[in-house]
């Protein structure tokens, strides 16, 4: 699709091992094109099935959430042959950058509370994310949180996948943002104040604590 007349490339946002993400204009709309690339070192058929699974997971979840209030991109186009998705471009910047730059602890605690609430709302809609790092949470200029990158997400997840979401974020915060040492406490406060629908939040938090204990114990 890149190179077709309805797409005009603006800049490359991220050139990762698994996908290249490009910002541009899609039929007049600010958009992001994400092209998944097969990994050379994996077996070709396994590789294409993994690529395909992530491509479809992301598309399916964006569609599943499209009528909700979740701040996520809108899916604009999808092409299985070229493993490409096109979605609207969100205005936020990665939370990673903000946590790295900010020493305003009150602002950061509010942001982390909002993340927790947003994650709970996502879970209550029957979706796990699978890769909740501070690169996949964006923050707009009103300090609202947006969520992207659903390739490892699942529909109708089990408690374990939901506990894992909290664990992945907790690990990311301690590894990448050690100066915000209480950040996860605010996430959990937000999570507890999120939507009541869906799997029991206390059970999910308990599962997160169990997973964290296992990881700490076994290293
Ligand atoms: N819809 C979007 N709006 C604005 N920025 C985006 C959007 N999608 C992606 N980005 C930017 O591009 C970066 C990479 O995108 P994304 O996280 O989807 O890909 P990835 O991490 O390479 O994918 P994956 O982990 O699925 O292989 C993001 O961290 C974000 O900065
Ligand atoms: Mg990402």
Instruction: Please report, in tens digits, the pLDDT of each residue of the chain (219 residues total).
Output: 666 679 999 999 999 989 999 999 999 999 999 999 877 667 777 778 899 999 999 999 999 999 999 999 999 999 999 999 999 999 999 999 999 999 999 999 999 999 999 999 999 999 999 999 999 999 999 999 999 999 999 999 999 999 999 999 999 999 999 999 999 999 999 999 999 999 999 999 999 999 999 988 776
Reference 118, options 143, 98, 155, 89; nearest CA is 143
Residue 195 CA: distances (Å) to CA of 50, 127, 130: 32, 13, 20
Interatomic CA distance for residues 76 and 99, integer angstroms: 31
Give strand pairing partners of 1.
Answer: none
Q: What is the pTM of this model?
A: 0.95
Residue 149 CA: nearest ligand 1 atom is 18
CA distance 9 to 187: 36
Question: How close is the Cα of 192 to the center of ligand 2, in Å?
Answer: 25
Ligand with minimal distance to 153 CA: 1
Report the distance separating Cα 112 and Cα 41, nearest Å: 38
CA dist., res. 120 & res. 113, Å (int): 11
Domains, in order of start, for the chain: 7-88 (3.30.200.20), 93-218 (1.10.510.10)
Structure tokens at 100: 């790295």
Give the nearest ligand 1 atom to 58 CA.
26
Residue with tokens 């899916």: 75
Nearest CA to ligand 1 atom 25: 149
CB neighbourhood size of 133 (10 A): 18
CA of 135 relative to ligand 2 center, distance in Å: 6
| HEC string for the chain | CCCCCCEEEEEEEEECCCEEEEEEEECCEEEEEEEECCCCCCCHHHHHHHHHHHHHHHHHHHHHCCCCCCCCCCEEEEECCCCEEEEECCCCEEHHHHHHHCCCHHHHHHHHHHHHHHHHHHHHCCEECCCCCCCCEEECCCCCEEECCCCCCEECCCHHHHHHHHHHHHHHHHHHCCCCCCHHHHHHHHHHHCCCCCCCHHHHHHHHHHHHHHHHHHC
Look at residue 94 in the predicted model and tell me its pLDDT: 98
Q: Which ligand is nearest to the CA of 34?
A: 1
Pocket of ligand 1 (CB under 6 A): 13-14, 16, 18-19, 21, 32, 34, 54, 73, 87, 89-90, 94, 131, 135-136, 148-149, 151
Å from CA of 162 to ligand 1 middle? 21
């Amino acid at each position: 699709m890149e190179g077709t007349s309805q797409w005009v490339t603006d800049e490359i946002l991220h050139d990762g091992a698994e996908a290249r993400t490009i910002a541009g204009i899609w039929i007049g709309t600010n958009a992001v094109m994400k092209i998944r690339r097969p990994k050379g070192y994996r077996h070709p058929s396994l590789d294409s099935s993994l690529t395909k699974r992530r491509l479809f997971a992301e598309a399916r979840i964006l569609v599943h959430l499209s009528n909700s209030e979740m701040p996520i991109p809108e899916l604009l186009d999808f092409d299985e042959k070229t493993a490409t998705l096109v979605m609207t471009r969100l205005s936020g910047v990665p939370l990673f950058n903000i946590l790295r730059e900010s020493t305003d602890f009150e602002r950061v605690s509010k942001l982390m509370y909002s993340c927790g609430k947003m994650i709970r709302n996502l879970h209550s809609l029957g979706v796990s994310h699978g890769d909740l790092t501070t690169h996949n949470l964006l923050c707009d200029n009103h300090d609202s949180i947006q969520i992207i990158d659903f390739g490892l997400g699942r529909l109708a997840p089990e408690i374990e996948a939901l506990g894992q979401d909290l664990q992945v974020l907790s690990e990311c915060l301690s590894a990448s943002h050690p100066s915000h040492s209480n950040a996860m406490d605010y996430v959990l406060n937000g999570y507890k104040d999120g939507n009541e629908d869906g799997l029991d939040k206390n059970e999910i938090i308990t599962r997160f604590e169990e997973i964290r204990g296992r990881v700490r114990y076994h290293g």
